[in-house]
Amino acid sequence: MGDRSERWRGDTPAVTVMTDHLRREAAIGGYEAAAEAAAQVAAAYEAVGELIGAAPSNIALVESATDAFARALAAFDFEPGDVLVTTRNDYNAHQLTALSLAARRGVRVLRADDAPDGGADPDSDRALERGDHPAHIDIRSATWTDPERYELQPDARRFETWEHAYALVLGMGEAVRYALDIGVETARDRAWTLARHARDRLADAGLRVLDQGATLCAIVTVDAPRGDAAEVVDRLRDWGINTSAVERSTAVLDMDAKQASSALRISPHYYNTDREMESTVDAVADLLGA
C-alpha cells in the first residue's frame, strides 16, 4: 500500500490540466483557449457521465456544489404553502436556502426524522419532482429566437452560463478519469479503512466520536469539548496535518442533538499512509485530550 500511496500522491493530472489551461488563456485569450480545448471539454462531460451512469447531455457543470443545488432548486416555481422536504443533516448552505425560501416565498420546510442508526428515515421523507426551467438563463442556456421569445437548450446545459470556468471543467474531467483509473471502490475502501481505524483509536483515547450511521464515510468528526476546534486546527497545521473545524453554526440541528458546540473533522484520503494516520490520531488525541 505504501508504494501505491506515494504514486497516488505524486500524480496531479487535474492540477496540471487546470494550470495549463489558465496559462493558455493568458497567452491567447479566454474564448480562443476554450475553442482550442473544445474536445477536452466534451470529454469531461463524458467522463462525469461514465462515473455516475448518465448521458453527457444530462450533465451540467458549474463552479460549486452549492451553486448547482441553488440552480436546480430555482427551477421550481414555489408558491406559498408549498412543502420542501429535506433532512436534519443537509449541508448548511442548503438549509439556509430552504429557510430563505420559507421567508421569501412562504414555503413550508419539513425535515425527515433521523433513522435510529443514523442518516434519514426514508419512511418520513418523500421525493420532489424536478423542475425543468431554470430561474436564470443566458446565451448559453437559451437561444433568443424572436424579440419576445427564447428557446431553452434541450439538455442539462440550460443550467450553465456563458461565462464558464473551463479550467475547472477540464480539471473535473481529469479528476474523474483519474478516479476511474484507480477504481472508485479501491479509493473508497482505502479511505474508509483509514477512517474506521481513526475512529477506533480516538474512541480508545477517550474522545467522543460524533459520526453516526450504519455506513460511515471517510470523514471523521470528533467532539472538541472545550469549543477550541479552530485552535486545534491551527496547531495541527503547524505540524503539517490538515484538518478542519466544525462549529455549531454549520450544522445547528445535528450539533444541538449531539450536544456539541465545536468539533474537529479529519478527512483521510486514499493516498494517505497508515503511518500518517497514526501520527494524526496521536496528535489529535494529545491536543483534544490535554
Ordered by where they begin, the domains of the chain are: 1-63+165-182 (no CATH), 76-129 (no CATH), 184-289 (3.90.1150.10)
Question: What is the spatial distance between Cα 272 and Cα 255, in angstroms, rounded to a whole number?
Answer: 28
Considering only residues 43 and 96, tell me which one the structure prediction assigns the higher pLDDT: 43
- Cβ neighbors of 144 (< 8 A, separation 6 or more) are 150
Q: What is the pLDDT of residue 1?
A: 59
Question: Could you tell me the pLDDT band of residue 92, with boundaries at 50, 70 and 90?
Answer: confident
Helix (H, G, I), strand (E, B) or coil at 155: coil
Do residues 109 and 86 make contact, with C-beta atoms less than 8 angstroms apart?
yes
Indicate if the pLDDT at residue 268 is higher than 70: yes
The average confidence (pLDDT) of the chain is 87
State the amino acid at position 80 in one-letter form. Answer: P
Considering only residues 195 and 90, tell me which one the structure prediction assigns the higher pLDDT: 195
* pLDDT tens figures, 21-76: 999 999 998 889 999 999 999 999 999 999 999 999 999 998 888 888 888 888 88
Considering only residues 285 and 145, tell me which one the structure prediction assigns the higher pLDDT: 285
Question: Could you tell me the pLDDT band of residue 131, with boundaries at 50, 70 and 90?
Answer: very low
DSSP string, 17-51: HHHHHHHHHHHH-HHHHHHHTHHHHHHHHHHHHHH
Indicate if the pLDDT at residue 262 is higher than 70: yes
End-to-end distance of the chain based on CA atoms, in angstroms? Answer: 33
* pLDDT tens figures, 212-243: 988 999 999 999 998 789 999 999 999 999 99
Q: What is the pLDDT of residue 279?
A: 95
Question: Could you tell me the pLDDT band of residue 128, with boundaries at 50, 70 and 90?
Answer: very low
Question: What is the spatial distance between Cα 155 and Cα 136, in angstroms, rounded to a whole number?
Answer: 15
Question: What is the spatial distance between Cα 153 and Cα 137, in angstroms, rounded to a whole number?
Answer: 10
Indicate if the pLDDT at residue 15 is higher than 80: yes
